[in-house]
Amino acid sequence: MDNNKKVKFGQNFLINKEIAKNIVKSCNFTENDNVVEIGPGEGILTDLLADKVKTLTIIEIDPFYLSYVEGKLFLNNNKLKKNDTAKFVNMDVLQFNFIELSKTLNSKLRLISNLPYEISSPIMAKFIKEKEAFLDFTLMFQKEFAERLLAQSDESARSAFSVIAEANFEIELLFNVFKENFNPQPKIDSSVIRMTPLDLNKFEDLKYSENIKWAANSPYFSYLVHQLFKLRRKKLRNSIYASFQGIPPDIKVKMYEDSNIDLDKRPQSLTLNEFIKIAIKYKDYLGLE
Ligand code: SAH
């Protein structure tokens, strides 16, 4: 195994069948589910789920592995052949339209993927944008990326990314996977997570759920959170001057005070609710939608 070789299309294949079984088992797929798998590679996951689901859409950028998996499934799996349940798409997943697929199937999608790591950030942005198409996501990420995704307020990995993810999804760590379970072996371990689009009906406070809904979809909210994290080591008292200079400093300070946000905090200590409160104050002041 050559660890220095650049791996094409992030092709680090899972080679531990027990782990593959645990990932698929955790999904509890049924014959009512319309499942999408991104990047099947040699099909270690695909093989375990293909005959359990209603439809399976496989999106793979590498034509070699797409036909490899197609061959493997049709040879190994009679049910698939009879019911014609699988669709094989040779495409960069970043170009794929999940909303359209969900409409065509008249159903929300369940997504499973050992993701190619170099598209982690853009694919998350895409999942956020198209989240209405999904019931849930079971995803393998690099461990560090998963930690950033899962970080709660006050944790050191908290970032703009965690806050924006929190406004969109419920995210749960299922388990970690050591790098020895892949070939070629990557430099770092992985984590399997489950993401579910946030159910806004669960909040009793209607105003709060309306606010989260706004934040989740607002490029303005995302910009504000990124701005506040730019000076992540500084207390808010010292960093709020740097951005949104159209708002006079004393008015900004008052907005934080009126929102009961402690100006001696650093951005990673703010809760999602606090980010939303301050974003709404800024937005109203600036007369934005
Ligand atoms: N799921 C397999 C393979 C993981 S490796 C396993 O667990 O072993 C990542 C896979 O994603 C590879 O098959 C790679 O060809 C594919 N891939 C990489 N970039 C992609 C993209 N942009 N769109 C779709 N598939 C991609």
For tokens 């504000």, the residue is 224
CA 93 to chain centre: 14
- Ligand 1, atom nearest to 92 Cα: 23
| CATH 3.40.50.150 placement within the chain | 3-198
pLDDT surpasses 50 at 2: no
60 is in an annotated binding site: yes
Question: Ligand 1: distance of its center to the CA of 40 in Å?
Answer: 6
Query: Which atom of ligand 1 has the smallest separation from the CA of 46?
Result: 1
Indicate if ligand 1 lies below 6 Å from the C-beta of 141. no
Ligand 1 atom 16 nearest Cα: 39
Q: Which atom of ligand 1 is nearest to the CA of 93?
A: 23
Question: Is the pLDDT assigned to residue 211 strictly greater than 80?
Answer: yes
Instruction: Read off the pLDDT of residues 18-75 as tens digits, 9 standing for 90 and up.
Output: 999 999 999 999 999 999 999 999 999 999 999 899 999 999 999 999 999 999 988 8
CB neighbours of 266 closer than 8 A, spacing ≥ 6? 232, 233, 234, 235, 236
We find that the CATH architecture of domain 204-286 is Orthogonal Bundle (1.10)
* pLDDT, tens digit, 9 for 90 and up, residues 130-174: 999 999 999 999 999 999 999 999 999 999 999 999 999 999 999
- Domain spanning 3-198: which superfamily? Vaccinia Virus protein VP39 (3.40.50.150)
- pLDDT at position 62 is 96
pLDDT, the chain, mean: 92
Host H or E run for residue 21: helix 17-27
| Most informative mutation of 48, 114, 120 for ligand 1 (most atoms within 8 A of CB) | 114
Residue 85 pLDDT exceeds 90: no
176 is in an annotated binding site: no
Determine if ligand 1 sits within 6 Å of the CB of residue 197. Answer: no
Cα 20 from Cα 110, distance rounded (Å): 17
- CB-based contacts of 79: which residues, under 8 Å, 6+ apart? 50, 51, 85
Rounded alpha-carbon distances, angstroms, from residue 138 to 69, 105, 196: 20, 20, 9
Residue 36 phi/psi, 5° resolution? -120, 130
Q: Residue 184, preceding bond cis, omega within 30 degrees?
A: yes
CA 193 to ligand 1 center in whole angstroms:
17
Of the chain, the percentage scoring pLDDT greater than 90 comes to 76
The packing angle between helices 249-258 and 272-286, to 10°, is 140
pLDDT score for 76 = 76
pTM of the model: 0.93
Q: Is 48 in the pocket of ligand 1 (CB under 6 A)?
A: no
Q: Ligand 1 center to residue 270 CA distance, Å?
A: 36
Residue range(s) of every CATH 1.10.8.100 domain in the chain: 204-286
Indicate whether residue 59 lines ligand 1 (CB < 6 A). Answer: yes
Residue 39 marked as a ligand binder: yes
43 within ligand 1 shell (Cβ under 6 A): no
In angstroms, the CA 52 to CA 107 distance is 17
Q: How far away, in angstroms, is 117 Cα from ligand 1 center? A: 9
Measured from the CB, is residue 139 less than 6 Å from ligand 1?
Answer: no
- Cα 249 to middle of ligand 1, angstroms: 48
Residue 82 reports pLDDT greater than 80: no
Please give the helix or strand (H or E) that residue 19 lies within, else none. Answer: helix 17-27
For ligand 1, the distance from its centroid to the CA atom of residue 42, given in whole angstroms, is: 9
- Mean pLDDT calculated for residue range 229-248: 88
